[in-house]
Amino acid sequence: MRVLVVGAGALGGYFGASLLKVNRDVTFLVRPPRAAQLRANGLRIRSPAVDFTVAPPIVTAEQLVDHADLILVCVKSYALSQAMEQFAAAVGPNTVILPVLNGIAHMETLTARFGADRVLGGTSLAGGALDADGNVNVPFAGGEIVFGELSGATTPRCHAISSLFDGAATSARASDTIMQDMWEKFTFLAAGNGISCLMRATLGDILATPGGTDMIARACNEARDVATACGYPPRQAYVDRILGFYSIQGSPVKASMLRDIERDAPTEGEHTIGDMVRRARRYGVPTPFLDIAYCMVDAYEARRAREAGKT
């Protein structure tokens, strides 16, 4: 199976390098600055379980000519439109597109452009970040992509993708409830991003305040109400797991969106908190906490645009 990984950031780098390590046919589609960095240093993956470097085959958009069997899309949501233009040349009659992005709205964008029959649902149970040298640092061992047909069917191409990861440091698990899986992550990601960014703090620091536990519960309840109104009420086992994670005293965890704000980078606020708020409006669900969080991140992006001379 010929695999094109779109993006070599934390997720794309981690999953793509793990496949290369077990001799899969993988090429990375990257922008010129990242291409130069990878050519000079290779792609290093560091986690509690592995530490290895690969020399990744890379192409830039103007060099892309061959069709791929699988396109693994691992970019930030705000980069998706540009990425689609860049990888479109690799989409052939039998190509499968598997996005591993936060949120839900990108599914409509991808299916409108390439057709619902070519697009799978996907979400990642992994996390990480690039350091200044372009290495991928993953805080937890393992890592998994959960994916599946939008219809819920089990198909030969799902089996083929799962088998592709056999022996790799990461895995891919086919799900017959992929939209439910994606909605559950979207629900609590929107809440977690909102909490962390509004408070400008780790979960542990928020929990240490007198109203911290209540604030977290309010955000999670609002997002859960929106998901329920949209037809995807989170399953109780998932709710219990996430609320347990969000209640760990002293937790050093902070949302990736807060890390983006701290380094004055663009955020996925529109694709997570903003999309959740817009869906709440559509169904008449009150979300006072998420409204404030969305206003905060939107004001942050407006300030960035103004200072860059874009407004």
Yes or no: say if 220 and 188 are a contact pair by the CB < 8 Å rule.
Answer: yes
Residues near 234 by beta carbon (within 8 Å), at least 6 away in sequence? 183, 184, 187, 188, 224, 227, 228
Helix (H, G, I), strand (E, B) or coil at 223: helix
Yes or no: say if 226 and 276 are a contact pair by the CB < 8 Å rule.
Answer: yes
**Which residue bears the tokens 């470097």?**
53
Residue 214: DSSP 8-state: H
**Per residue in 158-177, is it b (16+ CB within 10 Å) or e — as a string?**
beebeebbeebbbbbebbee
Element (H, E) at 267: none
**Per residue in 43-71, is it b (16+ CB within 10 Å) or e — as a string?**
bbbbbeebeeebebebbebeebeeebbbb
Yes or no: say if 49 and 142 are a contact pair by the CB < 8 Å rule.
Answer: yes
Is 185 an active-site residue?
yes
Which of these is catalytic: 76, 185, 254, 310?
A: 185
**Which residue bears the tokens 């955000």?**
219
Catalytic residues: 185
